[in-house]
């Protein structure tokens, strides 16, 4: 049975480009056939910020969805030198479904999303998610036409291949840890 990998779209802002990036990642990943990939948009879950309501319906649905996956690819945008508040809240709204799984990161921003990428790695470590070394880092200046239409440069293909290979290997390894 193939592993299941959730491609987490980490932005909920109006005009976001994460759906385009996530679709590209899924299309490319599907060609390799390592796993079954599914785009998971945190916007669809309407997660309230922790402590703002007693209603746990959205968090329960979020946790149930995450439990379906063996690993993750995070599509993370950089806002104010870090990840979006919505992504941080989504990470904090689950616990056990993250543990002992593997993840890869695809980031974008004016500086390739590097600072968002690095802050996300810190949080993933605390959540016991084994993150692979090779990322895909995209620039709003060179990989997006008019900063809105995603047109990735061919140079990203090698990193994407390496990232997906590492994610497959680490997902298989983490499956044995969870048993």
Q: Map out the domains of the chain with their CATH numbers.
A: 3-178 (3.40.50.360)
Measured from the Cβ of residue 99, the count of other Cβ atoms closer than 10 Å reads 13
Q: Can you tell me the distance from the alpha carbon of 37 to that of 40, in angstroms, rounded to the nearest whole number?
A: 10
The residue count for the chain: 179
Q: What is the mean pLDDT of residues 126-135?
A: 96
Tracing tokens 């104010």 back to the chain, one arrives at 80
Residue 179 has pLDDT above 90, yes or no: no
pLDDT digits (tens, 9 = 90+) for 147-162: 999 999 999 999 999 9
Structure tokens at 158: 């090698």
7 within 8 A of 38, measured Cβ to Cβ: yes
pLDDT digits (tens, 9 = 90+) for 29-86: 999 999 999 999 999 999 999 889 999 999 999 999 999 999 999 999 998 899 999 9
pLDDT digits (tens, 9 = 90+) for 90-104: 999 999 999 999 999
HSE toward the beta carbon, residue 178, CA cutoff 13 A: 20
């Amino acid at each position: 049975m193939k592993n299941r990998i959730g491609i987490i779209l980490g932005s909920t802002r109006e005009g976001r480009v994460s759906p385009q990036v996530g679709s590209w990642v899924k299309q490319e990943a599907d060609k390799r056939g390592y796993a079954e990939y599914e785009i998971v948009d945190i916007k669809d879950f309407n997660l309230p910020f922790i402590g703002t309501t007693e209603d746990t319906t959205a968090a329960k649905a979020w946790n149930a969805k995450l439990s379906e996956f063996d690993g993750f690819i995070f599509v993370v945008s950089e806002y104010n030198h870090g990840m979006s508040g919505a992504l941080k809240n989504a990470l904090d709204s689950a616990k056990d479904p993250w543990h002992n799984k593997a993840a890869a990161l695809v980031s974008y921003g004016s500086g390739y999303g590097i600072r968002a990428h690095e802050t996300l790695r810190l949080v993933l470590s605390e959540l016991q998610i084994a993150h692979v070394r090779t990322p895909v880092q995209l620039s709003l200046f060179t990989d997006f036409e008019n900063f809105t239409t995603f047109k990735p440069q061919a140079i990203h293909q090698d990193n994407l291949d390496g990232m997906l290979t590492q994610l497959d290997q680490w997902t298989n390894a983490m499956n044995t840890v969870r048993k």
